[in-house]
């Protein structure tokens, strides 16, 4: 009584992996090297690091699966904010913070503080979506998320914001900076074997939820970032690139970005 969908997935997976081994005439030694890479990924993974996910990401698999999932769920809706992968650094326990407050509690000297704001609306009707929650998270200027970095306090550069009656949210963050993904494991080894770089373009993660709407996992990318055209995990989409503009008259931030989000009803 295996569910039919599971049977379909397993049948196809086995067919394709046999076709792959046949195509390259894979030898026993080569196959064992692959097994060792998978074991190494498992040994490196823990609640703070998901190396198997990272291996999938550098070959574009998470982005492909995200596109398949989100496109299937929202095919008929135009003008919808595009999705992008969750990535390995999300935490489920984001603290709710007040709109207009900061997520940066250990602001490094080289950081560029920024103000980010916008509205969440219904993609079809344009109706503002009050009480939507927006989880945001980003790496610091050293390229590390708070859980990878003993120098940052718990939950630094993370927060959950709730939209007001007009669907508005706002917070202070850092203008994001590009950084390399961890290169000391099998994902790094794969990138080296392919002569690829390790960099992700500057980005901020967003996870938006609103009652009666499909949840949106996405990222915004700094339009001026050099790595925009070759993200090592293939998450960039044109419509997710944003322009950070100089902000005047605000001692808290010298940059600002407006980002409006549209959701599809579920
Ligand atoms: C990956 C995603 C991220 O957002 C990030 O900061 C690092 C790595 C990834 O998909 O592997
Ligand atoms: Fe990230």
At residue 32, the pLDDT reads 98
Pairing mode of beta strands 203-209, 168-174: unpaired
pLDDT score, position 78: 83
DSSP for 220-233, written as a single string? EEETT-GGGGG-TT
pTM over 0.90: yes
Neighbours of 150 (CB within 10 A): 8
Question: How far apart, in whole angstroms, are the C-alpha atoms of residue 173 and residue 59?
Answer: 30
Parallel/antiparallel/unpaired status of strands 255-258 and 245-246? antiparallel
Point out the ligand nearest to the CA of residue 232: 1
Q: What residues have CB less than 8 Å from 158, skipping those under 6 apart?
A: 91, 94, 95, 103, 135, 136, 137, 146
Query: Which of 90, 181, 217, when mutated, tests ligand 1's pocket best, judged by the most ligand atoms within 8 Å of its CB?
Result: 181
142-196 pLDDT, tens digit per residue, is 999 999 899 999 999 999 999 999 999 999 999 999 999 999 999 999 999 999 9
Q: What are phi and psi of 38, to 5 degrees?
A: -65, -45
Other C-beta atoms lying within 10 Å of the C-beta of residue 13: 10
Cα separation values, 261 from 28, 96, 117, 208, Å: 50, 19, 10, 9
* 207 Cα–ligand 1 center, Å: 14
CA 203 – CA 178 distance, rounded (Å): 7
Protein residue with least CA distance to atom 2, ligand 1: 87
Our CA angle for 105, 117, 85, nearest 5°, is 80
The list of the chain residues with pLDDT below 50 reads none
Summary mean pLDDT of the chain? 95
Residues contacting residue 216 through CB under 8 Å, at least 6 positions apart: 81, 83, 206, 207, 208, 209, 261, 263
Structure tokens at 32: 């064992």
Cα angle 249, 228, 163 (rounded to 5 degrees) comes to 50
Compute, in angstroms, the gap from residue 234 CA to the centroid of ligand 1: 10
In b/e form, how buried is each residue of 207-232, taking b as 16+ CB within 10 angstroms?
Answer: bbbbeebbebbbbbbbeebebbeebb
Structure tokens at 190: 């794969």
- Residues paired with residue 120 on neighbouring β-strands, in sequence order: 261
Which protein residue has the closest C-alpha to ligand 1 atom 11? 54
In the 8-state DSSP scheme, what is residue 185? Answer: S
* Structure confidence at residue 70 (pLDDT): 86
Nearest protein CA to atom 5 of ligand 1, as residue? 87
Q: Indicate the helix (H) or strand (E) that contains 257.
A: strand 255-258
pLDDT for position 71: 81
Contact (CB, 8 A) for 137 and 94: yes
pLDDT for position 15: 98
The set of protein residues with a Cβ atom below 6 angstroms from ligand 1 is: 54, 57, 62, 85, 87-89, 139, 181, 200, 233
Helix, coil or strand: residue 18:
helix
CA dihedral (192, 197, 201, 202) positive or negative: positive
Separation of 87 CA from ligand 2 center, angstroms?
6
Q: What is the C-alpha separation between 145 and 164, in angstroms, rounded?
A: 28
pLDDT score of 75: 76
CA of 209 to the centre of ligand 2 (A): 19
How far does the centroid of ligand 2 lie from the alpha carbon of residue 137, in Å?
A: 8
**pLDDT value, residue 72:** 80
């Amino acid at each position: 009584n295996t569910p039919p969908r599971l049977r379909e997935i397993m049948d196809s997976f086995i067919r394709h992996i046999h076709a792959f081994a046949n195509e390259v005439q894979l030898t026993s030694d080569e196959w064992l090297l692959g097994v060792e890479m998978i074991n190494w990924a498992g040994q490196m993974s823990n609640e703070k690091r998901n190396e198997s996910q990272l291996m999938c990401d550098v070959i574009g698999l998470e982005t492909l699966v995200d596109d398949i999932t989100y496109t299937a769920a929202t095919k008929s809706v135009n003008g919808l904010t595009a999705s992008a992968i969750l990535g390995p650094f999300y935490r489920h326990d984001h603290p709710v913070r007040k709109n207009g407050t900061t997520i940066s509690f250990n602001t490094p000297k080289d950081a560029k503080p920024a103000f980010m704001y916008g509205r969440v609306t219904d993609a079809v009707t344009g109706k503002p979506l009050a009480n939507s929650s927006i989880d945001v998270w980003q790496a610091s200027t050293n390229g590390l998320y708070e859980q990878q970095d003993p120098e940052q306090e718990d939950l630094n550069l993370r927060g959950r914001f709730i939209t007001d009656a007009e669907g508005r949210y706002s917070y202070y963050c850092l203008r994001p900076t590009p950084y390399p993904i961890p290169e000391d494991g099998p994902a790094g080894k794969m990138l080296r074997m392919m002569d690829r770089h390790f960099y992700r373009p500057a980005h901020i993660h967003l996870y938006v939820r609103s009652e009666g709407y499909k949840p949106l996992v996405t990222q915004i990318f700094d339009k001026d970032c050099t790595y925009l055209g070759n993200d090592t995990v293939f998450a960039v989409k044109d419509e997710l690139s944003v322009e950070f503009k100089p902000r005047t008259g605000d001692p808290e931030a010298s940059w600002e970005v407006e980002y409006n989000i549209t959701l599809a009803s579920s």
